[in-house]
Chain A
Amino acid sequence: DAGITQSPRHKVTETGTPVTLRCHQTENHRYMYWYRQDPGHGLRLIHYSYGVKDTDKGEVSDGYSVSRSKTEDFLLTLESATSSQTSVYFCAISDSSTEAFFGQGTRLTVV
């Protein structure tokens, strides 16, 4: 898995509560990504980072924020979780000339 660790792997939370998902890499890759995957939609890009403190929005960024204070960590925060954010979340990393490597995913359920 190219040195990518997502935590937690599973989480159940209540509507309206804040949630933070963590992606940790040991590859020193510049780019990090957060995707969500829902039935019928494939993988959709939420946010990505092109360096420490440098982030950009993807296709479905509403309701999500991210932070990257260190090269190895990329955090995804749901400020106030909603049921529509129930999904499987994947983190990925890449370098300028490489393919993207994906983590094993975090299954989030908002009840």
Chain B
Amino acid sequence: DAKTTQPPSMDCAEGRAANLPCNHSTISGNEYVYWYRQIHSQGPQYIIHGLKNNETNEMASLIITEDRKSSTLILPHATLRDTAVYYCIVRVAYSYNFNKFYFGSGTKLNVKP
């Protein structure tokens, strides 16, 4: 049960910010939001995660709404190498299911020159 909804595809111009939305309206208070991406047929790559607060690392920023029902992954300056499928998943903390990662279908981001 992926528990997330993402648009199937998005386009972004190279050098511009890419904003990828995710809806997780049934998220519980102890569930984290994780983002991964998969380039071509490689294994998925971890990007960022958060619980309540916005997070930023060297790859991206994660904005979580105050009610936590949705989030946005921001790639500040998209490059052609960021073309990939991006997965938003929820991960239950402090429970038996903590270490089960369930993936949905993701968003195919196409970065165009």
Contact = CB atoms under 8 A, between A and B. Distances in A.
A42 to B, nearest CB: 5
A51 B100 CA distance: 14
Q: Which 8 A-B pairs have the closest CB atoms?
A: A102-B43, A43-B103, A99-B46, A42-B105, A31-B99, A42-B103, A102-B44, A100-B101
A101 B42 CA distance: 12
Chain A residues touching B, majority SS: strand
Nearest to B46: A99
A59 B2 CA distance: 10
B34 A42 contact: no
B87 A45 contact: no
Contact of A105 (B42, B104, B106): B42
B99 A42 contact: no
B68 interface: no
Given A42-B87, A99-B34, A99-B49, A104 B43 contact: yes
A88 interface: yes
B99 A88 contact: no
Q: Which size bracket describes the interface of A in this complex?
A: 20 to 34
A78 B77 CA distance: 44
Given A42-B105, A43-B44, A102-B43, 15 more contacts: A4-B43, A35-B103, A41-B105, A42-B104, A43-B87, A43-B103, A45-B102, A48-B100, A92-B43, A92-B44, A94-B99, A96-B99, A100-B44, A101-B46, A104-B42
Nearest to A6: B43
Contacts of B87: 42-43
Nearest to A59: B102
A4 B99 CA distance: 18
Contacts of B34: 99
A10 B105 CA distance: 24
A58 interface: yes
Interface in A24-80: 31, 33, 35, 40-45, 48, 50, 58-59
17 contacts: A1-B43, A4-B43, A35-B103, A45-B100, A48-B100, A50-B99, A58-B100, A90-B44, A92-B44, A96-B99, A99-B46, A100-B46, A101-B46, A102-B45, A103-B43, A104-B43, A105-B41
